[in-house]
Amino acid sequence: MIREISQEIDSSPYLDGLHYQNEVSCQDCHGVPQPGWDDPAEAEQCLACHESREALAGRFDKEFARKWGNPHKSHLGDLDCAVCHKGHLASTVYCLGCHTNAPFSIPGQ
């Protein structure tokens, strides 16, 4: 079963494929396999590799952030990463629910 999942993820256009190609294992994001291990990764697991929320906000395009805002420094507070970054599904830009004219895009979309 693991082999079939690996082959499926290796060809995935979503974040799971990108992670797999960069040798990030299922356990790196989901922890030890157990009931519910396929739940979305928690922000703490994402930040173990992706620095801190502040560092992510600091790496965001400054010109874009001045005009449209910085999704990693949201006026909504610390949203869970999986709100936008879906992993095994197409990512969604949560901000577009209200900011309909903003040209947001994210990897794995």
For the chain, the domains span: 2-97
CB 106 within 8 A of CB 84: yes
Provide the CA 21 distance to its chain's centre, in angstroms: 15
Per-residue pLDDT of the chain (109 residues; tens, 9 = 90+): 455 566 678 788 999 899 989 999 888 888 777 665 667 788 888 999 998 989 989 988 899 888 888 889 889 988 899 999 988 889 999 999 998 888 888 877 7
Q: Could you give the CA distance from residue 39 to residue 44 in angstroms, rounded to a whole number?
A: 14
- Which of 1.10.10, 1.10.3470, 3.10.450, 1.10.1130 would CATH assign to domain 2-97? 1.10.1130
Q: Can you give the pTM of this predicted structure?
A: 0.77
Handedness of CA 24, 10, 21, 80 (dihedral sign): negative
